[in-house]
């Protein structure tokens, strides 16, 4: 019994990480209808940026966030202004192809710079610290921190989206770009800010990913898929729904892995397909008009 | 005087004549080329076929799938499964794999067609991942590390290695010709007219009585049929299959999309031109390794942003050429071969 409690608890905690993968994806889709195929590769890029930062400055991975987050946000802003803004429009192929190209470029660029070797960030004693909930049920300090950070990230995005002038600009451009421009908003700038925010979240997710497990240049696409599954399971247009979607995915994978180690990822995909078959609008959809 | 709809134009008559000559020359390749030439040409044929099928799907039906590797891998695994477990000759397995993949595509379509646009794209990718993970659980076919085609099956195809090479080469050529011919016939049929209408405006197509969803599902199923046959052939050439190579998103989707976009999406000539450019780049830059892939991604981005209709799109804009007789024109049959008006 405690066995299963542990499994589900682990799944929920990992789900927080998946929710962070998903939040950035969901944000830019909500604002500019762009699905970023390179999202997973950008997460991995953030992990490598953190790796370089910790190695050159000799700081811990969590401290490196001070540098990685603004740097990734700046990359996001420039990427949107220089390239991605030109792909937006009725046709869905240009953004898809360009981000696909970007994905191939990031993967092979990282491969050239860092080789295909496994890397990992070392966060010190926090990685092994655990708390005992009750007999036989333990909770790791790192997964707990990661989960709390995920909640904080979602809450912060929710706050920015619905309580600030920036969020109002995001929602206005999403609802009607032409009218938003008439009201004095520069859409290109608003979109670039959305991408910057998305990559700031990507940076946090990337650092936690890199502390939690080994990474190499090829693991990006799978992270994109996890994020995407969390978005669809949770329901489009709802940040807390996306968070719940991440948890469902995390639990499904943990349960699958517990039954048979080969089924971990497959169980997550199956959960996604079942939701798609029986409830295609997701668990907690928020219909936006 | 009567009026009818014709397809041929002067450039397409020249194009078809040139294609016929090229076909004869290529069919005779075993007599003028070495083993390396045959292998390179076979690879080119398989990419022309994959890109043409993806072009039909994305360029005409507006279904931007990034999960066609699902059917490449399915075809490959069916061929190996039939050969190893059922003793079916590999040559028979190729069309059989196509049929089974088409049947598989029906329930898959029922699921992924619930997703729209970009979400459809990633949904198809997840299906491919599911196929890959299932393939890696099939222990009789080597699980995660894959398996080889047993020697006695390979030897049963033809007695000498040279004859086998020739046979595989001709099958690759025949397959690409059949797939291109099927696509041309499809586009010349009423479904083709419907597809072109959908390509230009889905809303207008629906308003003119086209069942958009049904047409798209049919194209999706047809593409699965063709893609699986090509996949079966590719891995029959390689004699070895593994989940990671058979369901590779980079090899069977990213490159195929780059080829189609560089050559010109939404035109049947595009994938052919794109494949030639892709292999020309590869032959000259392959020594650069990962840098080559990096450049390929960059070229695709630049083409998409600067010339979204691709190389063939530019040629059409400038000269109005077509190689395949596809453009519908109204022809007036008068005494003198009359003025044709483009429709």
Closest partner residue to B126 among A87, A92, A269, by Cβ? A269
* Residue A137 DSSP class: E
Q: Which of B294, B302, B308, B309 to mutate to test the interface with A (most CBs of A within 10 A)?
A: B294
> Mean per-residue pLDDT for A230-248?
90
B142-177: pLDDT as tens digits:
888 888 988 888 887 777 888 888 888 999 999 999
**Is B122–A94 a contact, with Cβ atoms under 8 angstroms apart?**
no
Contacts of A229 in chain B (CB under 8 A): 126
Per the CB < 8 A criterion, the answer to whether A32 and A276 are in contact is no
Answer whether CATH 1.10.3470 is correct for domain A2-278. yes
Q: How far apart are CA A251 and CA A18, in angstroms?
A: 11
Closest-CA residue in chain A for B299?
A: A101
> Mean per-residue pLDDT for B260-269?
91
Q: With 60 as the cut, is the pLDDT of residue B336 above it?
A: no
Closest partner residue to B121 among A96, A102, A266, by Cβ? A96
Give the A window 115-174 contacts with B, CB below 8 Å: none
Rounded to a whole number, what is the distance in angstroms from the first to the last CA of chain B? 19
Q: How far apart are CA A248 and CA A271, in angstroms?
A: 8
Per the CB < 8 A criterion, the answer to whether B74 and B131 are in contact is yes
Q: Which domains can be identified in chain B, with CATH numbers? A: 2-342 (1.10.3470)
Q: With 70 as the cut, is the pLDDT of residue B180 above it?
A: yes
B114-123: pLDDT as tens digits:
887 778 888 9
Q: How far apart are CA B159 and CA A36, in angstroms?
A: 51
**Is A93–B114 a contact, with Cβ atoms under 8 angstroms apart?**
no
Burial class (CB in 10 A: 0-12, 13-18, 19+), A107: buried
The band of A229, judged by pLDDT with boundaries at 50, 70 and 90, is: very high
Contacts of B254 in chain A (CB under 8 A): 100, 103-104
Q: How far apart are CA A219 and CA A99, in angstroms?
A: 16
Give the A window 44-83 contacts with B, CB below 8 Å: 83
A99-156: pLDDT as tens digits:
999 999 999 999 999 999 999 998 888 888 888 888 888 888 999 999 999 999 999 9
In this structure, the number of other CB atoms found within 10 A of the CB of residue B149 comes to 19
Closest-CA residue in chain A for B297?
A: A101
**Is B66–A37 a contact, with Cβ atoms under 8 angstroms apart?**
yes
pLDDT for the residue numbered B335: 52
Q: Which of A101, A260, A277, A285 to mutate to test the interface with B (most CBs of B within 10 A)?
A: A101
B154-190 per-residue burial string, b: 16 or more CB within 10 A, e: under 16? beeeeeeeeeebbebbbbbbebbbebbebbbebbbee
**Given strand B329-333, what is the order of strands in its sheet?**
B2-6, B329-333, B341-342
Complex-level ipTM: 0.89
pLDDT for the residue numbered B343: 43
Q: With 70 as the cut, is the pLDDT of residue B337 above it?
A: no
Lowest mean pLDDT among A32-36, B220-224, B307-311, B322-326: B322-326
A-B contacts (CB, under 8 Å): 118
Those residues whose C-beta lies under 8 Å from the C-beta of residue B122, and which sit 6 or more positions away, are: A35, A37, A224, A225, A228, B66, B115
Start-end of H helices in B189-211: 190-200, 202-207
In this structure, the number of other CB atoms found within 10 A of the CB of residue B235 comes to 25
Closest partner residue to A98 among B118, B126, B304, by Cβ? B304
> Mean per-residue pLDDT for B36-44?
91
In this structure, the number of other CB atoms found within 10 A of the CB of residue B243 comes to 24
Q: What angle do CA B276, B280, B282 make, to 5 degrees?
A: 115
pLDDT for the residue numbered A289: 36
Q: How far apart are CA A42 and CA A103, in angstroms?
A: 8
- β-pairing, B341-342 vs B329-333, is antiparallel
The band of B1, judged by pLDDT with boundaries at 50, 70 and 90, is: low
Per the CB < 8 A criterion, the answer to whether A282 and A275 are in contact is yes
* Residue B68 DSSP class: T
| Residue A277 sits at the chain B interface (C-beta within 8 Å) | yes
Contacts of A93 in chain B (CB under 8 A): 58, 64, 261, 265, 304
Beta strands in B187-282 (DSSP E): 240-241
| Distance between A250 CA and the closest CA of chain B, angstroms | 16
pLDDT for the residue numbered B342: 46
Q: Which residue has the tokens 């190996």?
A: B80
Closest-CA residue in chain B for A108?
A: B290
> Mean per-residue pLDDT for A271-277?
90
Closest partner residue to A94 among B250, B254, B304, by Cβ? B304
Lowest mean pLDDT among A55-69, A261-275, B93-107, B285-299: B285-299
pLDDT for the residue numbered A3: 87
Report, in angstroms and rounded to the nearest whole number, the Rg of chain B calculated over CA atoms.
Answer: 21
Share of chain A above pLDDT 70, in %: 99
- β-pairing, B147-148 vs B240-241, is antiparallel
Contacts of A112 in chain B (CB under 8 A): 290-291, 294
Share of chain A above pLDDT 90, in %: 67
Helix (H, G, I), strand (E, B) or coil at B266: coil
Per the CB < 8 A criterion, the answer to whether B78 and B93 are in contact is yes
Q: With 50 as the cut, is the pLDDT of residue B340 above it?
A: no
**Is A265–B121 a contact, with Cβ atoms under 8 angstroms apart?**
no
A240-270 per-residue burial string, b: 16 or more CB within 10 A, e: under 16? bbbbbbbbbbbbbbbbbbbeeeebbbbbbbe
The band of A287, judged by pLDDT with boundaries at 50, 70 and 90, is: low
pLDDT for the residue numbered A65: 95
């Amino acid at each position: 019994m405690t066995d299963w409690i542990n499994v589900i608890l682990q799944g929920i905690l990992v789900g927080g990480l998946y929710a962070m993968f998903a939040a950035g994806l969901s944000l830019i889709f909500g604002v500019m209808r762009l699905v970023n195929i390179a999202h997973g590769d950008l997460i991995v890029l953030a992990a490598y940026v953190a790796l370089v930062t910790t190695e050159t400055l000799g700081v811990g991975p969590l401290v490196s966030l001070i540098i990685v987050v603004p740097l990734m946000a700046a990359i996001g802003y420039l990427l949107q202004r220089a390239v991605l803004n030109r792909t937006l429009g009725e046709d869905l192929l240009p953004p898809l192809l360009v981000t696909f190209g970007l994905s191939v470029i990031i993967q092979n660029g990282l491969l050239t710079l860092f080789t295909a070797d496994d890397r990992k960030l070392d966060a010190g004693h926090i990685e092994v610290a655990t708390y005992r909930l009750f007999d036989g049920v333990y909770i790791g300090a790192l997964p707990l921190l990661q989960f709390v950070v995920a909640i904080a990230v979602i809450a912060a995005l929710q706050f920015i989206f619905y309580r600030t002038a920036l969020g109002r600009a995001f929602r206005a451009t999403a609802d009607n770009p032409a009218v938003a421009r008439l009201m004095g908003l520069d859409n290109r700038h608003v979109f670039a800010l959305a991408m910057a925010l998305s990559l700031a979240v990507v940076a946090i997710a990337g650092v936690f990913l890199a502390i939690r497990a080994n990474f190499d240049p090829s693991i990006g696409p799978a992270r994109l898929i996890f994020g995407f599954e969390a978005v669809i399971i949770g329901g489009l247009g709802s940040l807390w729904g996306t968070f719940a979607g991440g948890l469902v995915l995390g639990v499904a994978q943990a349960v699958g892995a517990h039954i048979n180690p080969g089924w971990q990822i497959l169980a997550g995909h199956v959960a996604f397909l079942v939701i798609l078959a029986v409830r295609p609008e997701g668990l907690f959809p928020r219909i936006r008009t | 005087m009567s009026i009818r709809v014709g397809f041929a134009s002067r450039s397409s008559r020249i194009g078809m004549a040139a294609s016929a000559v090229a076909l004869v020359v290529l069919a005779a390749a075993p007599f003028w080329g070495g083993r390396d030439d045959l292998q390179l040409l076979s690879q080119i044929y398989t990419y022309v076929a994959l890109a043409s099928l993806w072009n039909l799907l994305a360029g005409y039906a507006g279904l931007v799938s990034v999960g066609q590797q699902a059917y490449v891998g399915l075809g490959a695994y069916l061929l190996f499964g039939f050969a190893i477990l059922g003793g079916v000759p590999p040559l028979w397995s190729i069309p059989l794999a196509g049929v089974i993949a088409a049947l598989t595509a029906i329930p898959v379509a029922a699921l992924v067609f619930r997703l729209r646009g970009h979400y459809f794209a990633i949904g198809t990718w997840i299906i491919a991942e599911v196929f890959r993970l299932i393939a890696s659980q099939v222990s009789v076919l080597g699980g995660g590390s894959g398996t080889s085609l047993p020697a006695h099956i390979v030897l049963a195809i033809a007695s000498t290695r040279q004859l086998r090479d020739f046979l595989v080469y001709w099958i690759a050529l025949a397959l690409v010709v059949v797939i291109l011919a099927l696509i041309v016939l499809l586009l010349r049929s009423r479904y083709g007219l419907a597809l072109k209408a959908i390509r230009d405006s889905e809303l207008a197509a629906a308003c003119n009585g086209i069942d958009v969803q049904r047409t798209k599902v049919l194209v999706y199923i047809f593409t699965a049929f063709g893609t699986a046959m090509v996949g079966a052939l590719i891995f029959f050439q390689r004699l070895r299959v593994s989940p990671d190579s058979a369901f590779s998103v980079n090899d069977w989707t990213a490159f195929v999309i780059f080829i189609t976009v560089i050559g010109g999406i939404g035109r049947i000539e595009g994938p052919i031109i794109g494949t030639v450019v892709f292999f020309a780049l590869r032959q000259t830059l392959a020594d650069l390794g990962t840098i080559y892939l990096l450049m390929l991604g960059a070229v695709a981005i630049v083409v998409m942003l600067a010339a979204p209709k691709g190389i063939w799109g530019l040629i059409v804009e400038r000269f109005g050429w077509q190689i395949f007789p596809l453009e519908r024109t109204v022809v007036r049959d008068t005494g003198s071969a009359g003025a044709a008006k483009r429709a």
